[in-house]
A and B are shown apart, each in its own frame.
Chain A
Amino acid sequence: MIAALRTPRGLATALILLVLAALPLLTQAFDQRYLLSIGTRIVIWSIAAVSLNMILGYGGLVSFGHAMFFGIGGYAIGILSAEGISSGWIQWPVALLAATAWAVVIGALSLRTRGLYFIMITLAFAQLVYYVGSGLEAYGGDDGLNISRSRFPGLIDLRDKASFYWLCFALLCASLWFCGRYANSRFGLVIRGAKSNELRMTALGFPVFRYRLAAFTIAGALGGLSGILLANEGAYVSPAMMSWMKSGDLIVIVVLGGMGTLFGPLYGTIAFFVLEEALPPILNLAHKGWGEYWMIVFGPLLVLIALYARGGIDSLLGRRHD
């Protein structure tokens, strides 16, 4: 543990986690409430990125529909809330169950395909969910739905921004802990082995499909959790939260941070959000009105990472020893 702090990676990670843990205190001290809301979204998106990394990074399964789990988790909360069921004790398990069940179905169908077909079929299912969401006129259709936050009476008040943030942060830590165990467990090694050489793993006696389906389901459930949190963060759900662009953003985040690395998704999310927030004002300084075109800078930056830092931000922090 202490030895890990001596490496640049260990030090950077420890610093990031420390700042994140203290973020509500920091934003209060500097009176920057707005930053806490960005921080909350970074933490929630990190959970989603960790979950996508479990299949994309470790498993080589390029799911181009991961944001659908934002939608499933979010809409489960939204619909229950609209129907007058506000207890988190009911909402959260129902939402998690919905995301898990949906992941089993989608996984069972998609994992029969490989490569480009897998990308397309996961995208297709995500679009399906998207259009169902925007077709739900009773629940706001395209405009989405304002909801009240889940109630956990006597335990935690999610309307309190700091409490909610810390809950999200605790869940991120739990996700990272689990992913760290997962990556080096027997299960994780099967998933990573199948990424490297599926035929070989089958010849070693592993029913690869079953393991992948289990991994896809775990990732979907964790993605659903981030959807639950996202709905509570904004007290709002809409089809936009599961558009294909969000799925694309998640892939960019995982690749940017470093696929198949434990903290890569965290680095990637922070970098993504910081660039998204910082580039427009910086460009506006250079020339008024340029801020709108921040993607012109962001895009080539991604290309550079893809070309010169194959392991993403993680690889810039030195060699890995696992």
Chain B
Amino acid sequence: MTEPLLRTEGLVKRYGGLLATDNVSIDVRPGEIHALIGPNGAGKTTLIHQLTGVVAPDSGAIHFAGRDVTRLPTHARVRLGLGRSFQITSVLREFTALENVALAVQGHAGHSFRFLADARRDESLRGPARRLLEEVGLGERADTLAASLSHGEQRQLEIAMALAGDPRLLLLDEPMAGMGAEESQRLIGFLQALKQNHAMLLIEHDMDAVFQLADRITVLVYGRAIASGTPDQIRANPDVRQAYLGEEAP
């Protein structure tokens, strides 16, 4: 079995009396989509925040790409190959789509303490940015302000930004949120194609998408991972059916 790309060991995070993350150990292997599901308030976002370095766990460890990154700041984890999209769309609204992605490329192109050369005409940034936009299907919207893009387009833009720097692992926090059925289906196809080169940890409420995409699923309830396995195993798991899937389970 291949070495996992991301591995957490007994992560614990408390907020006062609330145990938001309760001894969670999960891993993501190269070339795999691992989906994280759970009802609202299950602690998915808290877990993502620990993985990205927004909050520090109270105990436990996070290993990424063979390194202990538990105490590493966000930007350093990004540099190691951790790309992410946000649950609530987070783009630079005053910048064009192309400029958004060009900045993402710049983030991986060494330091930015360069004061004189015009970065807005820098083909070493714009070229890759244009290719990424085309890859996610936004090629024609390159010069549109991010604020003027439709919601679905902004989600696509986020993924293009997350892909800059060729991350080894993508953390996708509800990428389908607010998308129409058609847009979702297109995104599912796109993510399937991406899987070859980028492992993914996917948080998603759209169960159709999860069961279509995921190689493995972990179910989080009250901060605890109550089950983990293939989509078929999860579907058949009685605890999961009771705690989460409820009537929706096929």
Verify if B161 is at the interface (C-beta below 8 Å from A): yes
The residue of chain B having its C-beta at the shortest distance from the C-beta of A202 within the complex is: B74
CA of A214 to CA of B84, assembled, Å: 27
Q: In the complex, what residues of B have CB within 8 A of residue A197's CB? A: 90-93
Pick from B30-38, B57-65, B101-109, B242-250 the stretch touching chain A: B101-109
Ordered by A's residue number, 19 sampled pairs between the chains whose C-beta atoms are within 8 Å are: A185-B114, A185-B116, A186-B112, A186-B117, A187-B112, A188-B115, A192-B94, A193-B103, A196-B95, A197-B90, A199-B86, A201-B107, A202-B74, A203-B52, A203-B74, A205-B79, A205-B108, A207-B75, A214-B113
> Are the C-beta atoms of B92 and A200 separated by less than 8 Å?
yes
Q: Is the CB of B103 within 8 A of A181?
A: no
Instruction: For the complex formed, measure the closest distance between the CB of A258 and the CB atoms of chain B, giving whole angstroms.
Output: 15
Q: Report the separation of the CA atoms of residues A178 and B74 in the bound assembly, to the nearest whole angstrom.
A: 31
Contact between B112 and A190 (Cβ–Cβ < 8 Å)? yes
Evaluate contact between A200 and B108: CB separation under 8 angstroms.
no
CB pair B104 A204 closer than 8 Å: yes
Chain A residues, CB < 8 A from B94: 192, 196
B73, B90, B95, B164: which contacts A199 (Cβ < 8 A)? Answer: B90
Which A residue sits closest to B114, measured CB to CB? A186
Flag if B107 contacts A182 (CB, 8 Å): no
Q: A184 within 8 Å of B by Cβ?
A: yes
Interface string of A203-215 (1 = CB under 8 A from B): 1111110010010
The interface of chain A, by Cβ under 8 A from chain B, is 178, 181-182, 184-190, 192-193, 196-197, 199-208, 211, 214
Cβ contact within 8 Å between A206 and B120: no
- Which residues of the partner chain A approach B223 to less than 8 Å between Cβ atoms? none
The contact of B106 among A182, A184, A186, by CB within 8 Å, is: A186
Q: Who on chain A is nearest to B125 by CB?
A: A186
| Beta-carbon contact of B90 and A203 below 8 Å | yes
Answer yes or no: B165 CB below 8 A from chain A CBs: yes
B118 at the interface (CB under 8 A from A): yes
Kindly list chain B residues whose C-beta atoms are within 8 Å of the C-beta of A190. 103, 106, 112
CB distance from B227 to the nearest CB of A (A): 30
B115 and A205 contacting across the interface, CB-CB below 8 Å: no
**B78–A184 touching, CB < 8 Å:** no
A182-B115, A186-B117, A187-B114 known; A204+B107 contact, CB < 8 A:
yes
The digit string for B7-34, where 1 denotes a CB below 8 A from any CB of A, is: 0000000000000000000000000000
Once the chains are docked, how many angstroms separate the CA of A82 from the CA of B159? 62
Query: Inside 8 A of B107's CB, which chain A residues have their CB?
Result: 201, 204-206
**In the assembled complex, B119 has its CB within 8 A of some CB on chain A:** yes
